[in-house]
Amino acid sequence: MKKRARLLFIASLVFLDGLMVGLAFYLAYLIRQPAVGDSLVPFHRYWSKMLVQIASMLIVFFFSRLYHLQRAPSRIDEFYSIVAATSVGTVLSFGVTAFIFKNETADVDYPRAMVIYAWALTALLMTLGRNLHRAVQRALQSRGYGQDRVIIVGDGEVGQMIQQKIKHSPGLGYSVVGFVTNGTDLRPVMDVPVLGHLDDLPDIIQQHAVNEVIIGLPDASRQELLALISLCERGRVGIKIFPDLFQIMATEVSIGHLNGLPLLTVRDVALRGWRLTLKRLVDIVGSAIGLVFLSPLLLLLAILIKIESPGPAFYAQERMGLDAKPFPCLKFRSMRPDAEAETGPVWATKDDPRRTRVGAFMRRFSLDELPQFINILVGEMSLVGPRPERPVFVEQFRRSIPRYMDRHREKAGLTGWAQVNGLRGDTSIIERTKYDLWYIENWSLWLDFKIILRTLFNFVRDRNAY
């Protein structure tokens, strides 16, 4: 059943891609209708060229691995891959067309403008078509069609986190059959049954027709993991392991050598040299544009704050930035002026009674953070980077979280990789640190643009900001 569903998803995606390429070619023909004298060239004279276009695109998409279905692809990354593959496919199609139809008469000329229109429309329509296909596929999978039956090895904190992720993402196509515990308690966890112990894995896989095993035991030794993998392999299932390697690295391992002696590079910082200058240039341009276009909204929010409660509209809170140096982080005041008079520095909570009505609205949409464009413009922050924390919390976290201070190797950001992956508000500081370190060690300008776009997409859907 699962194999048939997968084949159906792939076949329908190929068909839809071909349909979108043909539609894009026809629309390009309508936009740039070639004419001979006073008469238009009929479209049936372009059928052969359209078939070459479709075949070229599908071949390039296949070799670009765009028919390897992923469970949770980034739409931004997929669009980038589609544009790249469409560009290569257009060049291939144009070359093949020129070679095959070189002896045709001029009345079936293939205008260059039509080629450009077809390229742009193909990228656009294939993106739209794939989003539609993904929506239908996820709707079917969320109803049980083509789902993978999964067991989670480990019913501790990590295993429960994996279960939560799967539960809130039905479109991933996973159906959790149960947990396998490394302890002795066989009581259900989070309303999910515990099917047995680690030694029972082969029997559990066979009895419950399991397709995939996710191992959520980050503290397991190398020997224990190898033993678990050996037990799972008897059932011919897919195996995924949740890693806990961020204490030593947060990036992909690269292999180098020292005069012939192989070495593994596990710590490297991508943001150095000319890249710093480029990132700073983007920060200046982005913050300046943001302040100009958002100035009416900033003025309106400041007036509303002053009308609702006495006190300043802006609030400068000390935060830790680059090299763990403190700086005044600007925010719109969203709480009473004496919010911490009795409690001292504390985390904001859901439905925090200290918030004003305007403040609750601003925090819901993170509008209280907008004055930080000023921090970015003067160089104290960046558009993208680890979110800054208050010194009192930094002192707490540095004692308990490995490599926490490494996140201060770069400027703090208005948004970050952790935030666009749902780690905002009352979420795990350890997980946030892992994402921040990964960002620092894998920085690229494209990654910054991707984070900014995802921040805009998540603007309305965010539920962790308060």
What pLDDT digit, counting tens, does each position of 180-200 carry? 888 887 888 888 898 888 888
Instruction: Tally Cβ neighbours within 10 Å of residue 272.
Output: 9
pLDDT(107) > 50? no
Q: What is the largest CA-CA distance in the chain?
A: 87
148-241: in CATH 3.40.50.20: yes
pLDDT digit string, tens, across residues 326-348: 999 999 988 877 666 565 666 56
Q: 3-state DSSP: the chain helix, strand, coil percent, rounded to 5?
A: 55, 15, 35
- pLDDT at residue 323, as a whole number: 86
Q: Tokens 């002896």: give the residue.
A: 103
Structure tokens belonging to residue 335 = 């709480």
pLDDT bin (cut points 50, 70, 90) of residue 265 is low
- pLDDT at residue 263, as a whole number: 62
Of 45, 123, 128, nearest to 89 by C-alpha is 123
Classify residue 142 by burial, with Cβ atoms within 10 Å: 0-12, 13-18, 19+: middle
Total H helices, total E strands in the chain: 14, 13
- pLDDT at residue 298, as a whole number: 93
Give yes or no for a contact between 174 and 152, defined as CB atoms under 8 angstroms apart.
no
pLDDT digit string, tens, across residues 84-100: 999 999 999 988 887 77
- What is the residue type of 455? T
Of 366, 359, 344, 375, nearest to 313 by C-alpha is 359
Q: CA dihedral defined by 100, 102, 105, 110, rounded to 10 degrees?
A: 80
- The more confidently predicted of residues 166 and 296 is 296
- Reported as half-sphere exposure (CB side, CA atoms, 13 A), residue 156 has a value of 12
* Domain segments of the chain as ranges: 2-142, 148-241, 274-457
Say which range, 199-208, 243-252, 388-397, has the weakest mean pLDDT. 243-252
Which range scores top for mean pLDDT: 40-49, 259-268, 337-346?
Answer: 40-49
Structure tokens belonging to residue 372 = 């930080």
φ and ψ at 275, to 5 degrees?
A: -65, -35
Give yes or no for a contact between 175 and 149, defined as CB atoms under 8 angstroms apart.
yes
Structure tokens belonging to residue 4 = 């048939």
pLDDT(170) > 60? yes
φ and ψ at 12, to 5 degrees?
A: -65, -35
Instruction: Round to whole Å and give the CA distance between 367 and 384.
Output: 16
**What Cα–Cα distance (Å) separates residue 138 from each residue in 127, 161, 294, 424?**
16, 21, 37, 26
Mean of per-residue pLDDT scores for the chain: 82
- pLDDT at residue 103, as a whole number: 62
What is the arithmetic mean of pLDDT over 40-50? 81
pLDDT bin (cut points 50, 70, 90) of residue 105 is very low
- The more confidently predicted of residues 294 and 211 is 294
pLDDT digit string, tens, across residues 54-88: 999 999 999 988 888 776 667 788 888 999 999 99
- pLDDT at residue 62, as a whole number: 92
What is the arithmetic mean of pLDDT over 418-426? 79
Kind and range of the H or E run holding 279: helix 274-308
pLDDT digit string, tens, across residues 130-160: 999 988 888 887 777 777 888 998 888 888 8
- pLDDT at residue 249, as a whole number: 47
Of 3, 302, 311, 310, nearest to 145 by C-alpha is 3
- pLDDT at residue 212, as a whole number: 87
Q: Model-level pTM?
A: 0.65
Structure tokens belonging to residue 82 = 């589609």
pLDDT(175) > 70? yes
Give percent above pLDDT 70 in the chain: 83
pLDDT digit string, tens, across residues 12-39: 999 999 999 999 999 998 887 765 445 5
- pLDDT at residue 95, as a whole number: 85
